[in-house]
Amino acid sequence: MTVLSRHSHNSHSTVFANKQRKYTETGWLMFEMPQEMGLIAIAVRQTQGKGRGRNAWLSPMGCALSTLLISIPLRSQLGQRIPFVQHLMSLAVVEAVRSIPEYQDINLRVKWPNDIYYSDLMKIGGVLVNSTLMGETFYILIGCGFNVTNSNPTICINDLVTEYNKQHKAQLKPLRADYLIARTVTVLEKLIDTFQDKGPNGILPLYYKYWVHSGQQVCLGSAEGPKVSIVGLDDSGYLQVHQEGCEVVTVHPDGNSFDMLRNLILPKRR
């Protein structure tokens, strides 16, 4: 694994040398690195972080900030279900913390499709995936940021550790961003291997263990739309919902809402 790091940069990919400017940063990253070599770019701080759509990605000091390059064969379990990549990454962050001995009850969870949450109350991190298909291979950049030592703008993992220590008279130590990035990548590699071997069913039990949506109700179409209950993910990684008296159906985000659980719509039947 090659690590490129810098104390501050304007985006995940601008860490690369000026002599590579004849390429786009992401183009050089994805297509010039040997496939057998892993690569991750890590920053201590970002000034122009990018979120989904046109949303800004706030990145104060104390965040764990990284962009990871992976390549996935098109004709593989995950290559046929690329939307699962964001689920695997958010799950990897949560599992990286909660699999540390004595940290298993730190209330860190996943929110569909790409958020890391404190319980179901507050966002603590997120994932942004960009993929490019060339030939028979997907080249995927996974941008990930989550709060480790910064209590603003929301809450951070070490705040959860501190609160746990108070409530349980424990002495868990604060966690470091670099340590959690390393654990996250290790967990992600294992999750990908499991997915490639067993498909979605290989990872969904762990995903459901940590997700915030069990029994949750949402409205279809608008706030006045019919209420449905979330029951799980389909084979492609989209939400499945159930309305009383009806069959289980897959729903998609409408593409316009900041919260992707708002205004879910039924895809048009072909």
pLDDT for 250 = 86
Tell me, what's the pLDDT at 25? 53
Structure-block tokens of residue 38: 């892993």
Determine the pLDDT at residue 218: 81
33 burial (CB, 10 Å; 0-12 / 13-18 / 19+) is: middle
Q: Which residue has the tokens 């993910």?
A: 233
Pick from 198, 12, 176: which is nearest to 96 by CA? 176
Q: Across the 270 residues of the chain, what is the mean pLDDT of every consecutive 10-residue run?
A: 43 34 48 71 74 65 90 95 95 97 95 90 91 91 93 90 95 96 96 97 96 83 80 90 83 58 56
The Cα–Cα gap between 251 and 270 comes to: 15
pLDDT at site 98 = 97
Residue 264: its pLDDT value, please? 59
CB neighbour class for 61 (10 Å; exposed up to 12, middle 13-18, buried from 19): exposed
Side chain identity, residue 102: E
pLDDT of 11 reads 36
Which helix or strand (DSSP H or E) is residue 91 part of? helix 84-98
For the chain, the domains span 13-210, 217-267
pTM value is: 0.83
Tally the C-alpha atoms within 13 A of residue 87's C-alpha that lie toward its C-beta. Answer: 25
Q: What are the two backbone dihedrals, phi and then psi, of residue 158, each rounded to the nearest 5 degrees?
A: -70, -25
Residues 199, 184: Cα–Cα separation, whole Å = 20
Nearest-10 crossing angle of helices 177-198, 84-98: 130
Q: In CATH, which of 3.40.1350.10, 3.30.43.10, 3.30.930.10, 3.10.20.30 is domain 13-210?
A: 3.30.930.10
What pLDDT shows up at residue 226? 80
